[in-house]
A = this chain, B = another copy of it.
Amino acid sequence: MSRARDAAIAAATELFAERGYRQVTIRDIATLAGLSPAMVMKSVGNKQKLFHDVVTVEPLPLHSVPTSELGTALVRDLLDRFHADAVEPMTRVLMLRMTAPDPEPLRKEFVRGYFDPLTERLGGGDEAQLRAELAISALLGLAATLRIFSSTQTPKRYDEVLHRYGALVQQLIDG
């Protein structure tokens, strides 16, 4: 049962992030997981419950790099995930938030996974929070144009993007 549950959760995580809530069926999840639809329902409950089980936000990797290098490190991570064809947690949560039957828990997960840890890293308080919100805005926007609107020059110019956009995220972090 636990192996079936793990397989169903893994399949659901992938499909919901790709297509959003409404366009995924229990049958789709069962097919990808190699289970029967009945087994999916038995191991995880209904689709809405499953959706809320898989929507934990992957937090921003706040490296051990000094705060003065954080902007570039975060942009580098984002570009490296894109070029490695790896999942982008920021656009994943955007898709989940925009298609969730109940969006509020997703919004809170985003705040807890992104705004809060960076605010804390920058010393806490309103001023740190403003800097964190603006830096996250810049990162989210870069992820969205790369992943959702397929900007075409940005992927070709790794070094320039890292240099220009990294410097800019750093400025927002520095305040």
| A129 sits at the interface (CB 8 A) | yes
| Interface set of A (CB-CB < 8 Å, partner B) | 20, 22-23, 94-95, 97-99, 107, 110-111, 114-115, 126, 129-130, 133-134, 136-142, 144-146, 148-154, 157, 160-161, 164-165, 168, 171-172, 175
Question: Closest B-chain residue to A101, C-beta based?
Answer: B23
- A-B contacts, 11 of them at CB < 8 A, read A20-B98, A97-B148, A110-B149, A115-B151, A130-B154, A130-B160, A136-B145, A137-B142, A137-B145, A137-B154, A164-B171
Q: CB distance A171 to B168 under 8 Å?
A: yes
A164 to B130, CA, bound (A): 11
Q: CB distance A99 to B153 under 8 Å?
A: no
Q: CB distance A161 to B149 under 8 Å?
A: no
Beyond contacts A98-B99, A137-B146: 8 other A-B pairs, Cβ-Cβ < 8 A, are A22-B99, A98-B98, A107-B148, A130-B154, A130-B157, A136-B151, A139-B141, A164-B172
Which residues of the other chain, B, contact A149 by a CB distance below 8 angstroms?
97, 107, 110-111, 114-115
Which residues of the other chain, B, contact A98 by a CB distance below 8 angstroms?
20, 94-95, 98-99, 148
Q: CB distance A153 to B130 under 8 Å?
A: yes
Which residues of the other chain, B, contact A22 by a CB distance below 8 angstroms?
20, 22-23, 99
Closest CB in chain B relative to A158 CB, distance in Å: 11
Question: Closest B-chain residue to A95, C-beta based?
Answer: B98
Closest CB in chain B relative to A45 CB, distance in Å: 21
A95 to B146, CA, bound (A): 16
Q: CB distance B137 to A151 under 8 Å?
A: yes
